Amino acid sequence: MQLIECVPNFSEGNDLNIIKQITDEIEKVEGIRLLNVDPGKATNRTVVTMVGAPAKVIEAAFNAIKKAGELIDMSKHKGEHPRMGATDVCPLIPIANISMLETAAYAQQLAKRVGEELSIPVYLYEAAQTDTTRNNLSVIRAGEYEGFFKKIKEPQWKPDFGPAEFDVKRGGTVIGARDFLVAYNINLNTTSTRRANAIAFDVREAGRNLEVEGKKINQPGTLKSVKAIGWYIEEYGVAQISMNLTNINICSVHMAFDEVCNKAATRGIRVTGSELVGLIPLKAMTDAGKYFLQKQQRSTGVSENELIKIAIKSMGLDEIGPFKPKERIIEYMLNEKINNRLVSMSLTAFADETASESPAPGGGSIAAYVGVLGISLGTMVANLSSHKKSWDDRWKEFSDWAEKGEQYKSELLKLVDADTSAFNQIMLAFALPKDVPEEKNIRNKAIQEATKYAIEIPFKVMETVYASMEIIKAMALDGNPNSVTDAGVGALCARSAVIGAFMNVRINARGYNDKIFTADIITRGADIENKAIALEKEILSYVNQKIEVYF
């Protein structure tokens, strides 16, 4: 399925009733997910994030632009953020199975419809605009609402769609296609817009224009793919650096934060925190968490939740208000909770579910979870070793082991629910009708497909758990000696997980008709089982030798 994200910015941030009426138009379109609504009082602007199939997004965006034009009067609008219309800007962003070229075509389609059906002047920008002299948003919006009554009459600023008359009430709209952009504001311990702007000019890619010996020259800023301005936010009582990070692969959120900290310090100003506007990708947050842990020379092999917590605290994302990851990280907003039902349970609930008369979760899911416990113990030893007093020169070595362990743990957690899902697919296939030959054929095919999946999942558990034993062995050999028994218990869990998963591979293979496939996977599985048993024995010998030292 093709998915695009749409992030319209509406010039209203105070009247929640108006904002609600606009977002209601979005939610009326079936198949659209409204991910985030982020109003700002001082900017008098609301950033809305939605996602869906392209045609659905175009319909929802059109309806929202129409409603915003009916409810917002730009002749009375005031706010800190640059703006030129009721719907100031409406970018489309490719998310899944769609190219930027295709996304740009949808942006052009939306712009044409807004211009022709709503008679709003529309400008294309970024990838949707073929004229490179007018594809930059800040260039298009220069002069803002107040200056556009004259600007729109200039031949070079004729709208791409709609009338060449500026609408007093609705203003104009900019519609385009771009890569994922992170809107990010950094808070300063000053109220001076001039000083905030000076820092913004220091860091933004465009830098500042200077006059040297009568000649105008440009001095670029220190950060690529960054747009920035300084402003004062009366609501917070502080000045901010307002940034658009247009490519977080080039300039990450944590890089921008640290660089602003450095430039502010040279001007006698301190950064007190920061603010995210809209949504952010998960990787941006976990990368930030790892970055700040590395600066502290602490292990990065911690859970995803812990990395996010470190990122929030390090960048002060909760200074102005609570930062709720489930509501601000795009992957969490799109994630279907049904996919991780078991691993979201408490230990007690998981045990009760396992002990109930329901056949799932069964041995396959339990084997995967025992593998989770095994590598969790190995990862714990790595983290303890990374932070061990007098081992400061080895923190990175153990941090790398812990990070690798976290990757195995995450994969195995997914397989806990995947194994139960595989069992349920078999049950559903067997429940299909079989009254006529055609139904029988469909049912048999579904049973075979589900059975193959039910073989592959526990085999994947075997492979992942056995690979994780490398870490457990390293920790038994070289980790914190005070935790050697934890590594030993981890080895016991890992060995048990491999043997248990192989039982499920073998029993499910009995029902699969492709005997060449089953013979191959059973041979490979037996090899992994034998290696796991031997490796467990080797690890336990190291553990017992170290225990004996204490007696």
| Integer Cα distance of 509 and 499 in angstroms | 15
Which positions are annotated as active-site residues? 81, 419
Q: Which helix (H) or strand (E) holds 126?
A: strand 122-126
| Integer Cα distance of 186 and 261 in angstroms | 9
Q: Of 91, 113, 60, 246, whose CA–CA distance to 174 is shortest?
A: 91
| Integer Cα distance of 278 and 169 in angstroms | 26
Question: In this structure, what token pair is assigned to residue 12?
Answer: 């209203």
Identify whether the C-beta of residue 168 lies closer than 8 Å to the C-beta of residue 122. Answer: no
Cis status, amide bond into 437, omega within 30 of 0: no
Q: Of 489, 479, 430, whose CA–CA distance to 454 is shortest?
A: 430
Q: For helices 304-315 and 282-295, give the axis angle rounded to 10 degrees.
A: 70
Angstrom distances, CA of residue 112 to CA of 67, 120, 123, 523: 17, 10, 10, 61
Q: What is the DSSP letter of 253?
A: H
Angstrom distances, CA of residue 387 to CA of 110, 283, 289, 393, 490: 55, 25, 17, 10, 20
| Integer Cα distance of 438 and 433 in angstroms | 10
What is the CA 535 to chain-centroid distance, rounded?
Answer: 37
Q: What angle do CA 437, 443, 446 make, to 5 degrees?
A: 145
| Integer Cα distance of 438 and 113 in angstroms | 47
Query: What backbone torsions phi and psi does residue 146 show, to the nearest 5 degrees?
Result: -65, -35
What is the CA 479 to chain-centroid distance, rounded?
Answer: 33
Q: Of 82, 104, 243, 234, whose CA–CA distance to 172 is shortest?
A: 82
Helix (H, G, I), strand (E, B) or coil at 167: coil
Angstrom distances, CA of residue 324 to CA of 273, 284, 305, 353, 415: 16, 15, 12, 29, 27
| Integer Cα distance of 205 and 224 in angstroms | 5
